[in-house]
Structure 1
């Protein structure tokens, strides 16, 4: 990376200075404002006496393509440049010495290598002003120290260091950059790597403005140390890495006499400050005139995140990122901290303590809207050693968490106005008092009690919000001291868990105190749409009560146009949501809730908080597929009928135009269908897939008459299309069929069919709102009789057309059944009958593709004279006296059908045929395919 600078006049310094032109100002001191002081002062300096080797002599020595092996001494005011292809390497002496010439400003720019194998790479003499720039790719390495700034009691260096390359001290006791007592550096910038025993060591020295790091400063002991009365008058800002095994940053601000005269302005971190085994940020005595700020991307981590020992921190410790320790997050051991502010998203945590105060340490305020956690205590104020925390403030929109007990017995806690804080269960606050001026939420959390060891008060703005999962799992808060509640104290009950179930009318001791000061009046609100909670004072405790919301369902004069009762009745809600199919069930539920509001059936509806939830819940309680099983069974029977009718046509010769066969035949046919009922009149549709097998035998009893018998089995799988009320069913159909035909004339035939069957039905209704599934298992029976008349019109020798008329009557009867598995939500369903009488007109076109192959196509229309809509009468198991009738799809009387077929007769007389059929009715489409084999004997 090429680094460019620009020279400007500094009114403060009254000298030319160089600034990095690639960095923009950020509103606080940053890299763009770190002055590489004195870098341009050589433009005004007067050359001192020549003391250097020839390569380093003069005011602007430049090393290019040079490898020096002796010390390079530069005179005051000189500007030394070492290009990337050059090096200075010494064995037992310093690589570079600067003259001690007060008033002369020197610059050193290194793009190559400066190495002292047993000394210091760059030694800046006391009183000399020198700015050092280590360019990208540049290397400065010393044995004990890479760069040393020497100083006397009154000497000032006032240079600057900017590093873009690598600065290294070899020994574990040395420092890469060592600023000794009395030396002063105007500013320091690191965008490269600085490493050693200590990376940067202010050993009694001073940085007049800022130290900015966006690279890496690391050390075997300390990454950055400010010690022995050192001062950083501006900001220490880190956006990169500062790390050390003993401490990442060690601010040991006391001087040799222990008077604590050292100081730092602000420590700002948005990078990483860490110690593998020690303290990430250690502050020992002295003063931080500003504060410590850890931004959202900042990480401060070690055995202890931040440890302040006898230090006065005038400003706050602000955290938006992570401050964590394997032992303690923040430790304040003596001294004082103005405030600790843990913002939303911030985390202060330790395996033992989140924040601990010991040995007389004082903190005015801790404000938390993030997470403070510790296995022993989230906050520990050691009263034995006189630690003191005046106030703990909880802020944020339910973002604050204390992961571990708060032990601060002399501390006042304030839940700020408009803030929300949730006790998730098991929390313990040992405090002086807790003042609720916001919303204190006590979560259900399996009924675990939260404890305040101290006093509690609730202002007029304050709200106590109790989370309720069911009658055994609800939030509880216990106060050991005195709890003071104003008149009409605000209590909110949260039953937002839609699967909430209640079987009791009281929930005892949701709030209790050693002494409860209250006049017993409460302003209770809840989010249950159908039920109302109340609160009563019971000694030194508060209990919750539960009852159905005030409503009087009104029986309608016209059941198809129900009248809503006052209040949020179930019927009123489902009608508002446009859910008319659920209306009768909703009316039955209203009666049940009025008669037994604390019963098991009612208990499932307490946690419903919106009209949509109520409407969906009622829909989920409706009978299996809203009667759709009958439609699916009817469709399966129609498919079997088509199989038989096709066989009769083949027997009679109507398919091909040939004379009726006289032999006896055994046949077998496999068939399948896939049906789709779309939503109609607010009733969800379903998909049905059927696979089946039919086998039969028939023969001619005379030239005009044929008779046959067949058996068919079909399995149908049905899945509801509803995402609100997922349901499924399986139907096994067994059908015994008798059929025959009689030729009235050579081209005219009368055919008939009678059959009876049994169906085994199994179904499941899934009710997510109650986390329950109801299972049904019942039988149904069917009977069918049909008669048809067809006449063959022969257009050519290869083409015939067969118009026909037909009448089919079908009856399906379901047994009554009782569901299992869902308790009070099980349904007891009455038996029911379904009837259908369909008159049909069909036409079938046959075309001989060859002597043994016939292609056929048919088209027809039917009309159901009875056209019954399905309806089911049932009761809830939890309310056997409240019956309701659910109406299914209202079908259209008209139906249409079409089909294609191909029949081929083998030389041995075996017949193979394939067919495709489709039937449509009332947004219902059923498509089927079949393959048949027939053998003559």
Structure 2
């Protein structure tokens, strides 16, 4: 028989006749949902274009193994085991125009099928499949029932009437649960690769129908759209659930739940490291927050009937609505008023401008933020608590040591700022007896009154001109004074073994008392005498200029630093060990009579530094400043030159 050009043939076993028949490669019952086999005679085939074969597995028949490729179509009324499908997605994922691949019909069953890239397994109403593995680029279109499907980058599209049980969604796999479908016992291991609350849209589980008993592991994400419902979901650390529809009985075992505008979450249990976030327009009811769990209710969000257990965290503001019970009893945040709120373990309450908070308890890890114009009364601050406020707020209560404190009317009294706390003193306001224990104190002008204490880790940041007429003391550890200017007739006292660093600051005080530890002046201008105790250290770094005497301590001058020794200092400058790479100048501040000054140094180590002394040749006696090496030694040489007013230490302290 003569063959037509470009025509090929396939022998197909006809179950009815019990013999092979010839079928065209492209012969297909296009659009026929029933999947009837097309068995053609040789004479009929010769006049048709090239078509693929439709292979029918009849009721009661079992086919074990085999591969579908090159547009083959297997229509299953019976049973198949171990088929591999590599064709069927000619028109793309979840496209009704696709007709190839494996079609499991009413009463048909397919077990342990492997769907590879480009492959399609379609399960029509009444059909069932089990243990299907779908790789990237492959898909399963489901209207019947699927059990234990594994999506290794592949996709499962559930159409109305479909039921999927035990689907496992691995790396970049995607299960689409459409309206009228049910997915039960799904395990989600992918979808959160884009970061927290990033709706990737084509990985993980996408729910517009019903998802029941879903487990979301690390990197997993379930997105519940407006018409979708998720019931009895467990979310582990690194996984999350995004809710635009309805979520019921979710348990957060370290995972996150985001309730968006229009979304509702009921009976959520937040365990250790879990986090429920209720966004603007979202609603949560009957949430239970256990120890180390966290409930966050954003402005415009609502959470009612909350049970906040001891050690659980509430994060919210007075622009949200939150009601429930905590270890103190009933609490509420309603219409700009917060009452009886407990903050601990990462909990936080923001009291906004014009809003109020009463009876707030702030324990270890809790934060109370009172904005300018906000009011918080009867506040109880515990150990490890954090207060954020400025002098425009109104706050009153007790500190962790039981002492009363207050902010109001531009006056702050007896504040204690623990690590993480921050207080801003506005221009024209006054802060009295402030203690900074590792917190941040910012002064935008204003006045420091009483004793301002900086302890280990404390930062005092100045912006503009701040006045200190009393005492600024550093008692223990390291502290930082930076920026702006500090003026007035007060004093700075450094105690303890740590370091006080003064950086980019203009400091003018009656005195600086260096009792213990180290004082570092960096890129600052300091006008005062430094009265020190032996065994302490003073370091001038950067472009620092010190105008005043030093008595006595170990001094280091960096190459860009300058020490001006005035002739009207209250004490004589006495230095134990001087390491000198900068400039030292004896300066005249008096008018009239010339008064020489003396610098006594026990040990001088010159490092290309310069020392300038004043000389009055017209005077017979006491006509020059003096540098005295007192009981120690100078590394270097001195070469006085007639008529010169300068002695210079060069090399290893050479003087000339």
TM-score (norm 2): 0.53
CA contact (8 A) 1:534 1:544 kept: no
Deviation of 1:52 (Å) = 3.4
**2:218 maps to what in 1?**
296
Tell me, yes or no, if structure 1 residue 122 matches structure 2 residue 12.
Answer: no
Shift of 1:476: 5.4
CA displacement at 1:681 relative to structure 2: 3.5
CA gap of 1:624–1:182, structure 2 versus 1, over 3 A, is same
Instruction: Return the alpha-carbon distance in structure 2 between the equivalents of residues 501 and 684 of structure 1.
Output: 34
| CA–CA separation in structure 2 for the residues paired with 1:427 and 1:49 | 78
Q: 1:899 deviation in Å?
A: 9.0
User: Aligned partners of 2:191 and 2:25: how far apart in 1?
Assistant: 39
| Shift in Å, 1:430 | 3.5
Q: What's the CA shift string for 1:786-826, capped at 9, x where partnerless?
A: xxxxxxxxxxxxxxxxxxxxxxxx99465389xxxxxxxxx
CA distance in 2, matches of 1:446, 1:314: 35
Q: CA deviation at 1:114?
A: 1.7
2:179 pairs, out of 252, 257, 269, with 252
Kindly state the Cα deviation for residue 834 of structure 1 after the two structures are TM-superposed: 2.9
1:314/1:294 CA distance change after superposition, 3 Å: closer
Contact 2:216-2:234 at 8 Å conserved across structures: no
Distance 1:400 1:140 in 2: 44
Q: Which one of the candidate residues 317, 334, 356 is aligned to 2:264?
A: 356
RMSD (Å), alpha carbons = 6.2
Displacement of 1:108 in angstroms is 1.8
The residue that corresponds to 1:894 in the other structure is 633
Kept in 2, the 8 Å contact 1:436–1:463? The answer is: no
SS in structure 2 at match of 1:193: coil
Distance 2:394 2:654 in 1: 61
Q: Is the 8 A contact 1:688 1:716 kept in 2?
A: no
Question: Kindly tell me: are residues 547 and 186 of structure 1, through their superposed partners in 2, closer, same or farther at Cα, counting changes over 3 Å?
Answer: closer
In the TM superposition, residue 356 of structure 1 has moved relative to its aligned partner by 2.6
Are 2:301 and 1:406 equivalent residues in the alignment?
yes
Q: Which structure has more helix as a fraction of its residues?
A: 1
Q: What is the DSSP-based 3-state SS (H/G/I as helix, E as strand, rest coil) of the residue aligned with 2:536?
A: coil
Matched, 1:149 2:149: no
For 1:380, the equivalent position in structure 2 comes to 283
Structure with a larger share of its residues in strand:
1
Q: 1:114 aligns to what SS in structure 2?
A: coil
Alpha-carbon distance in structure 2 between the residues aligned to 1:837 and 1:282: 82
2:207 corresponds, among 272, 278, 282, to 282
Q: Which has the higher contact order (CA 8 A, sep 6+)?
A: 1
Instruction: Measure, in 2, the Cα distance between the counterparts of 1:94 and 1:600.
Output: 91
CA-to-aligned-CA distance 1:571-607 (integer Å, 9 cap, x gap): xx9xxxxxxxxxxxxxxx999679xxxx97499969x
Match of 1:418 in 2: 311
C-alpha contact (below 8 Å) 1:234/1:264 kept by paired residues: yes
1:102 to 50, 55, 60: 60
Of 373, 376, 381 in structure 2, the residue corresponding to residue 491 of structure 1 is: 381
Q: Deviation string for 1:767-794 (max 9, x for gaps)?
A: xxxxxxxxxxx8889xxxxxxxxxxxxx
What's the secondary structure of 1:165's corresponding residue?
Answer: coil
Matched-pair contact (CA < 8 Å) for 2:192–2:200: no
Instruction: Report the Cα offset of residue 156 of structure 1.
Output: 4.1
Report the Cα offset of residue 716 of structure 1: 12
- What corresponds to 1:534 in structure 2? 404
1:815 correspondence with 2:589? yes
TM-fit CA distance, 1:836: 6.1
Q: CA deviation at 1:294?
A: 3.3
TM-score, normalised with respect to structure 1: 0.39
Aligned equivalents of 1:468, 1:308: Cα separation in 2? 34
Q: 1:159 aligns with which of 111, 114, 128?
A: 111
Shift of 1:406: 3.2
2:152 is aligned to 214
Which of 513, 536, 542 in structure 2 is aligned with 1:682? 536
- Whole-angstrom distance in 2 between the partners of 1:306 and 1:448: 35
2-side partners of 1:717 and 1:50: how far apart? 112
Q: Partners in 2 of 1:129 and 1:601 — Cα distance?
A: 88
**Which residue pairs with 1:132 in the alignment?**
83
How do 1:551-590 and structure 2 match up within 5 A?
none
The DSSP-based 3-state class of the residue aligned with 1:232 is strand
Q: 1:603 to 1:160 in 2, by over 3 A?
A: farther
The structural deviation recorded for 1:240 is 1.4
How far has the Cα of 1:212 moved from its partner? 1.3
* Per-residue CA distance 1:242-267 (angstroms, 9 max, x = gap): 2xxxxx6124346xxxxxxx552224
Structure 1 545/837 Cα, relative in aligned 2: closer, same or farther at 3 Å? closer
Q: Does 1:306 align with 2:228?
A: no
User: Matched residues in 1 for 2:73 and 2:105: separation?
Assistant: 14
1:188 maps to: 132
State yes or no: 1:343 paired with 2:254: yes
* Offset at residue 463 of structure 1 (A): 7.0
Matched, 1:320 2:238: yes
Residues 450 and 149 of structure 1: CA distance in aligned 2, closer, same or farther (over 3 Å): farther
Task: Kindly name which structure, 1 or 2, has the bigger radius of gyration based on alpha carbons.
Answer: 1
Structure 1: how far apart are the matches of 2:555 and 2:277? 42
Paired residue secondary structure (1:227):
coil
Q: Answer yes or no: is the 8 Å Cα contact 1:271–1:298 preserved in 2.
A: yes
1:52 alignment partner, SS class: strand
Q: Is the 8 A contact 1:283 1:308 kept in 2?
A: yes
Any conservation in 2 of the 1:376–1:405 contact (CA below 8 Å)? yes
SS in 2 for 1:252: coil
Q: In the alignment, does 2:184 pair up with 1:264?
A: yes
| SS of residue matched to 1:684 | strand
**How far does residue 106 in structure 1 lie from its aligned partner after superposition?**
2.7
Gap change, CA 1:297 and 1:835, over 3 Å in 2: same
Task: State the shift of 1:380 in Å.
Answer: 1.7
Contact (CA 8 Å) 1:107, 1:132: kept in 2 or not?
yes
User: Secondary structure in 1 aligned to 2:535?
Assistant: coil
Alpha-carbon shift at residue 685 of structure 1 (Å): 3.9
| Uncovered stretches (5+) of structure 2, i.e. residues with no partner | 1-14, 30-47, 92-96, 194-198, 330-341, 418-432, 438-447, 454-465, 480-494, 515-532, 570-583, 602-624, 640-646
Matched, 1:391 2:287: yes
Deviations 1:393-437 (A, max 9, x none): 26537x6543333324xx3223332334455x5552342445569
Q: 1:837 to 1:231 in 2, by over 3 A?
A: closer
Between the aligned partners of 1:493 and 1:533, the Cα distance in structure 2 is 13
Quick check: 1:207–1:233 contact (8 Å CA) kept in 2? yes
Answering whether residue 170 of structure 2 is matched by residue 200 of structure 1, we say no
